[in-house]
Amino acid sequence: MRKLASRKKKIAAFAALALSLSACANTGLGVDGPTALEKQILPTIEPVHKGGTLTILDSAKDPGFDPARSQSLAVTSAGLVHRRLTTWQILPGQEPKVVPDLATDTGRVSPDGKTWEFTLKDDLKFEDGTPITSADIKYGLERSFAPTLSGGLGYHKTLLANTDGYKGPYEGAHLDSIETPDEKTIRFHLRIPYGDWPWITSLPAFAPVPKAKDNPEGYARAPIASGPYRIAEYRTGVFVQMERNPYWSNDDVRLAGPDHIKFSLGNDPVVSAQKLIYGQAQYEDTFSSSKVPAAQLITAAQSEVVGQRLQIPDPGPLLYLAINTKQVKDVHVRRAFNYAIDKSAVNKAAGGQLAGAIATTLITPGIPGREKFDLYPAPPTGDLDKAREELKQAQDVPKRPLVLITKNKNEDVLRAEAVARSISQLGLKVRIEPVESSVYSERTTQGPGDTYDMAIASWNPDFPAANSNIQPLYASSESGGGGSNRSRFEDPKIDEMISAASAELDPEKAKQMWAATDRAIMELAPSVPLVYQRFSYLRGRNVTNFYVGSFPSYPNYLIVGVKP
């Protein structure tokens, strides 16, 4: 077991982290398009300063910090309050890495890949000084099964063995697939072999929750912290005030620079961007957790002063056209769409090269093991001749107008219009249906899926592994019933490939298998990869260590500080 790190070792580790950030910081800010990317200048990454108050402009009115209901990524808001068995190391110039958090390592697996065991570090405590035990982690996971605490990331619910019908611990039932033989050991029994389980244990539900302090109705506003900050005051829709957790220790990932962190809630992203662009003095110790909207992004990029506080990351999350394979059944038609679509026009709708780069694969940049390839080579504007050649081979070309569903946000509608123009040049008719987000979700993920033919969709993986790019979007189990397979794509051979790659325990072999699965899916063309999106963010001039990677395309809250 790892001994408690000395204060000197922790300071040395943090200094090394800061130097690594400084050495890898890319540069950039220019006037428009590629120039802005080539000239970008990021703030200098410095050793973290202890002190000050960091303010975060958040669009959520009630972000909530109940780990059972949270979809917060490991390096964003909830990671300040809750630790998990593992977490992510997100640094410039490096691939995302799963690293120990509460655990001493990233897990030990049985030869059959179905049992994973972790040992907790020494001297871990909650904010009230009580020890964190393996039973607290088990209880936290069990409560995530309660129907009243639904909405969080649920990968563990389908992977743990013997969970059918389980509805949480509130009526005295417990999971025998999670064992806690002593206070520092926790053992998981899985339904299937799963090589990415260390990534799963970094998700919110793996945060410890003390049974004696659980209040299902109010825990989101008054959680018991295991991370460097605890909730001092929570006013729904107004702000969340955090202060230091005096019992936080033995943490090699979180730098915990500010003494206080304030989340200002309910901010419109456009207004947040304007505040940081035009109100620098008032917002020196502030950053926005919302990506900069297209119009403000161009304004910021054109300013040499503001641009130094703008980070434009490498391309990451996938924007794609999901083709409903139960409606558009002929693979040659779907391949024709891959050739025909003017991806540059789609990208321009959200800001051009400042907003993204042309996509050709399903596994996105920033994900370990991604292989770059293009099965449908064409200029960014598309290749109508190749598209027409594919259509000639089709036996089932749709004669009716194709329904293209999109959310009714301006840039999404503009993207849909660009897609429709390209397809119409093949002699096909397209009807765009902009709808509210709730309607979009219901129509594309629920029911038989016969109310749309195509959908403009976006995907940012829940954890940095190819599994999270592929399985949720293309496994048959995710088609309908609330799943994210908006292409309604169901193919037994692809399901076998997904299962085999998921079960592979050798990370290098798994990467090769996922890359092969990506290519095999693209051969069947259930989607058109459109754009790898850039989510850019603004900070005040006193905010330091402000880094956004291609994954997860959000600022790494765990390392941010403020200048004195």
Judged against a pLDDT cut of 60, whether residue 272 lies above it is answered with yes
Mean pLDDT is lowest, of 164-168, 180-184, 423-427, 446-450, for 446-450
How long a stretch of residues is the chain?
A: 564
Q: What is the mean pLDDT of the chain?
A: 91
Q: Which residues have CB under 8 Å from 139's CB, separation 6+?
A: 169, 208, 209, 210, 211, 214
Residue 527 lies in a domain: yes
DSSP H helices in 279-342: 294-302, 304-307, 331-340
- What's the confidence (pLDDT) of residue 352? 85
Over the stretch 278-336, which tens digit does the pLDDT of each residue have? Answer: 987 899 999 999 999 988 998 898 888 898 899 999 999 999 999 999 999 999 999 99
- What's the confidence (pLDDT) of residue 351? 80
- What's the confidence (pLDDT) of residue 369? 86
- Would you call 473 helix, strand, or coil by DSSP? helix
CA distance 210 to 135: 8
Residue 549 lies in a domain: no
- What's the confidence (pLDDT) of residue 27? 30
**String of b and e for 240-269 (b: at least 16 CB within 10 Å)?**
bebbbbebbbbbbbbbbbbebbbbbbebeb
Over the stretch 234-262, which tens digit does the pLDDT of each residue have? Answer: 999 999 999 999 999 999 999 999 999 99
pTM for the model stands at 0.90
Residue 415 lies in a domain: yes
- What's the confidence (pLDDT) of residue 304? 85
Integer-rounded Cα Rg, in Å, for the chain is: 24
Residue 504 lies in a domain: yes
Average pLDDT for 540-562: 93
CA distance 34 to 230: 42
Judged against a pLDDT cut of 70, whether residue 547 lies above it is answered with yes
- What's the confidence (pLDDT) of residue 133? 98
CA distance 184 to 118: 8
Q: What's 335's domain CATH number? A: 3.10.105.10
Judged against a pLDDT cut of 70, whether residue 23 lies above it is answered with no
Residue 162 lies in a domain: no
Average pLDDT for 73-94: 94
135 — phi, psi (to 5°)?
-65, -30
Cβ atoms of 353 and 420 within 8 Å: the answer is no
Domain of residue 329 covers 318-533
CA distance 436 to 453: 17
Average pLDDT for 133-141: 98
- What's the confidence (pLDDT) of residue 4? 33
Residue 418 lies in a domain: yes
Residue 450 lies in a domain: yes
CA distance 459 to 482: 15
Does residue 204 or residue 95 have the better pLDDT?
A: 204
Cβ atoms of 63 and 263 within 8 Å: the answer is yes
The number of folded domains in the chain is 1
Over the stretch 173-228, which tens digit does the pLDDT of each residue have? Answer: 999 999 999 999 999 999 999 999 999 999 999 999 999 999 999 999 999 999 99
CA distance 549 to 97: 13
Residue 59: which H helix or E strand, with range? none
DSSP class of residue 111 equals T
Judged against a pLDDT cut of 90, whether residue 163 lies above it is answered with yes
One-letter amino acid for residue 18 of the chain: A
- What's the confidence (pLDDT) of residue 26? 33
Percent of the chain with pLDDT over 70: 92
Residue 492 lies in a domain: yes
Percent of the chain with pLDDT over 90: 83
Judged against a pLDDT cut of 60, whether residue 361 lies above it is answered with yes
- Range among 1-5, 28-32, 139-143, 148-152 rated most confident: 139-143
Q: What does the block give as tokens for 265?
A: 């809630």
